[in-house]
Structure formats: structure tokens, C-alpha cells
Structure 1
Amino acid sequence: MSSENLLGVPPTYLTDDPAVREALAGAIGFDVDDVLEQTVRDHPTSSLAWAVLADRAWSRRELVQSYAYARVGYHRGLDALRRGGWKGQGPVPWSHEGNRGVLLSLYMLRRAAEGIGETDEVSRLTDFLDGADPAAIPAIEAGDR
């Protein structure tokens, strides 16, 4: 499958938020839960912060919490995409740092949906991610965050 944009819809490039990335990076070596929760409180519209919180819950096998956090990140991401000019279709390149929080939230929601047996949502989110950028799922699964 080609990653060429056949729809003619321009890619969406969201604004990067280095403050969120720095706050999340600061969690290493500290009380991770406190840092993650504080980051979400300080940046509640950040899909990246919610995605990382969802990933943390997933790592603890807290599937319902992971799903809930990822669902918030997904909705925050949709809000950001719409503000960024996205009209419900078109590329959202993983290679652009500002887009990674949205795509990571979609991935985390997809993973958690699979974990709770929500198969229709898994299929829909897979299509969404592949439509946004076919490189996103392989990049996330390879640890390219």
C-alpha cells in the first residue's frame, strides 16, 4: 500500500508542546504517578499527557482505567485536529512531533479497546490510524515515541 496522499487533502500539522514533553520526561526517576497526574492537571488538553497516563495504567493491567484515559486523549486529540483545520480525513503524519500525542492516544485507545473486547472500536481505530499515517502503528510498536 502506498502512503501517497491520493485524496489531495493537505496534511494536518499540530503545534508541538515541548512543555508537556519536558514534564513527562521529568517523570523518570521520580514518583511517576504523581508526575503524570500533575502533567495532566497542568495540561488537561494535551492528548500526549493522557496517552502516557493510559499507557501507565495499561502497564499495571488496569484496562478500564487505560481505556478511560485514552478515550479522553482521543477526544482532546480530535479537538486539536479540528482546530488545526482537519476535516475528518487526510494525513496526520507521525513524523511531525506535534501530531504524536493524538496518534498515540488513538493507539492507546485501540489497544485498550482490544483489551476489553471492544472489537468494532479496534477496527475503526485501526482504520483511523492507517488513514492518518500508515507508519504510525509500526512506529509506536517499535517504541518510536
Structure 2
Amino acid sequence: MTSEQPQNQPEDQREIRLAADRNVVIELLDAGGEPEVLRLVVARYPRSPLAWAKLADATFHPDAALESYAYARVGYYRAIEALEAAGWDGSGSIPWSHEPNRGVLRAFYALRRAADAIREHDEVARLTELLTQSDPTAATEIEASRTAPIPVQNPAPPTESIVIRGED
């Protein structure tokens, strides 16, 4: 991943803009939320924070969060690697509005949620601060996308009943 960072921006106002990885996005859309299919996508794209975050989401359950925590932890490290490769030094914004950044932010969020479920309070505080510094709207946007109603597809046209008359 590369950064599309303007060179003349002051250090404290730098924005990281990761490059899009369309193949991962397409395969994740095709996978839906099925953990088994998501595991295959992660196996094909193990460096993708978005793929790891989606797998962490699909396996998350508040009362059994260790599997999700493990996936989210890998996603977090992949996110840090992607950011550092793009020139991030631990500071600067990672805007949610730039869609390729969303995988990184989702990985941070997934780890924070799983850490909260296993009562890792220090980690929750650190990740909350990281998300807020990255983009103050990220957590709210992720939560909204998780709770947004699923669009209703047009149902298939009604089928007609067929009555077969015959002798019993």
C-alpha cells in the first residue's frame, strides 16, 4: 500500500491515504459474513487489515471473544505495517472518508471491541485514543455501519399455485 500524502502538509496535519486494494474488497463482498469463506479470503490476502477485521467481526461474540480477539490482533499488526509503509510515524490523521483507510480503522475497532469483551481495559483505552486521534468519526461510522438496517432486496415475484387434478 502506498500513501497519497501531499508533501507540503505540516507534520501535525498530515493525512495518511492508503492505496485501494480492489481484489480484497471484491472477494470480501462475495464472502458476505461467512467465517469459513472469510478465512479463505484471509489466506489469499494475509497482509490485508480489512480482511482480518472482517473475519474478526464475523467471529465476534461478546461471551466468546477470544477467536475474534486473535483475528483482530493480527489485523491490528497488519494495519500498523500498512500505515508505516505509507509513511505513518504514529501521528497524523487516517481519515475514514478515504475508503481504503477503512480497513485499518476497522482493524483498530475490532481489536478494541474484542479487548473490551475480554476485559483488557488498558488496551481498550489505548485503542480508543488511537481511533480518536486517527479520525474522531471512525468509531461512530463503524458502529453506524454495523447497526444499519440491511437493505431489503426486491423479493422474487410471487409464484402461482399449481393445482393438479387427478384421480386419487
Normalized against structure 1, the TM-score is what? Answer: 0.89
Instruction: Decide whether aligned partners of structure 1 residues 61 and 49 sit closer, same or farther in structure 2, where only a CA change above 3 A counts.
Output: farther
Instruction: Decide whether aligned partners of structure 1 residues 25 and 61 sit closer, same or farther in structure 2, where only a CA change above 3 A counts.
Output: farther
AA matched with 1:51:
A
Match of 1:39 in 2: 41
Contact 1:103 1:129 in 2 (8 A): yes
Contact 1:47 1:74 in 2 (8 A): yes
Task: Give the count of matched residue pairs.
Answer: 139
Greater helix content: 1
1:22 alignment partner, one of 26, 29, 36: 26
Match of 1:52 in 2: 54
CA shift digits 1:1-55 (9 cap, x unpaired): xxxx996331001111111111011023xx9233201100000000000000000
Contact 1:91 1:132 in 2 (8 A): yes
1:13 alignment partner, one of 17, 34, 39: 17
Identical amino acids, percent of aligned pairs: 46
Normalized against structure 2, the TM-score is what? Answer: 0.77
Structure showing greater radius of gyration is 2
Match of 2:88 in 1: 86
**Aligned mates of 2:16, 2:41 — CA distance in 1:** 25
Higher RCO, Cα 8 Å, sep 6+: 1
- Aligned-pair RMSD on alpha carbons? 2.1
Structure 1: any 5+ residue segments left out of the alignment? none
Contact 1:93 1:133 in 2 (8 A): yes
For residue 142 of structure 1, report the CA deviation from its aligned partner.
Answer: 0.4
Structure 2: any 5+ residue segments left out of the alignment? 1-8, 149-168
